[in-house]
Amino acid sequence: MRAPTRQRLIVILLAAVGLVTASGAHAQRGATDREHMASRPVEITARQIAHFDRSRPNVARFGPLEFRGGLVLSSSDSDFGGWSGLLVGGNGGELFSVSDAGSWLSADITYDGGRPTGLIKARMGTLAALGGRELEQKREQDAESLTLLDGTLGRGTLAIGFERLHRIGRFQITDREPRAPSGYFKLPPEARRMQGNQGLEALAVIQTGPLRGSLVAFAERFTRGSGYHSGWIWVRGEPRPIHLRDDDGFNITDAAGLPDGGLLVLERYFRWTSGVKMRLRRLSMSEIVPGAKLVGRTLVEADSGFEIDNMEGIAVHRGAGGETVVTLISDDNFNRLLQRTILLQFVLHED
């Protein structure tokens, strides 16, 4: 991959240094601002991204992925940002996301043909604890992963994964607004040993096959020297281990179920010398079984020469024409000076 420019590296360095301060200050502010517990409308500005590869504007195909379009999103709302989990429904017209500061976002995605053009009818609110209690501390608020267990965003059940205080909650959602959790999934004993800021970063549901409806979770980085990332698949309510090979030092940031029963896994890599990268790996249905040591197939890898940022959320939906569409979102760490909230869409071809 192309090495980032010196200027880009300086920006990445400053962003990384500012990450803890920006996120921590935001968490403290949100913990005492109870008016944000109720949902509210929010205005979102979108600037279109025309090309995924900056140096090759005429190229739209990247392996099996065809770039459909992207957006740089911004808002004057102080709680906008940190988006780490993503769902897209309604043939691509509905978006729902959660942030690592305990907020949620719902919106309609607008299109020109197949190209996304903006977010409208957006609302934001704050996730709650059992009984509707406010999530008061950062260790409670850090929502990092999201999947739809059943139903739709209009009426269904979400699973939301949190790190620091590691847990996976069941949340009913009505009219794209989540309620307080009804309970939590059973976690395996070894999950208690995950590092606070490298916990449950990826959630997905198997869409078809023998394990249809099973929840899958991966930790961001929990290898214990094995050379494999730790994950679990819930079979009849019990978490069973699965493993994904730790290739080239990438961390796992999210996952999404595919219509054929497989999974897409989103990964991120950061080093001071090479900057930030993202990678997508595909896991086939046949290899996803309890106890498996998964390898998968890399679909795309991109560095800072591409239109990426800190990519943390992935969603898969069927488009109006039956095509499989992959949507990615980035976590800007509430560092608006140096990072961006980016939404990217691709069509996944099966050839």
Domain spans of the chain? Answer: 6-33+40-348
- Give the residue-averaged pLDDT of 208-230: 97
- Give the residue-averaged pLDDT of 175-201: 94
The pLDDT tens digits of the residues spanning 33-72 come to 444 457 999 999 999 999 999 999 999 999 999 999 999 9
The pLDDT tens digits of the residues spanning 231-259 come to 999 999 999 999 999 999 999 999 999 99
What is the DSSP track for 156-208? EEEEEEETTTTEEEEEEEETTEEEEEEEEPPPPGGGGGS-TTSSEEEEEE--S
| CATH code at 6-33+40-348 | 2.115.10
249 CA to centre of own chain = 19
Residue 1: the pLDDT is 38
Radius of gyration of the chain, Cα coordinates, nearest whole angstrom = 19
Global pTM reads 0.91
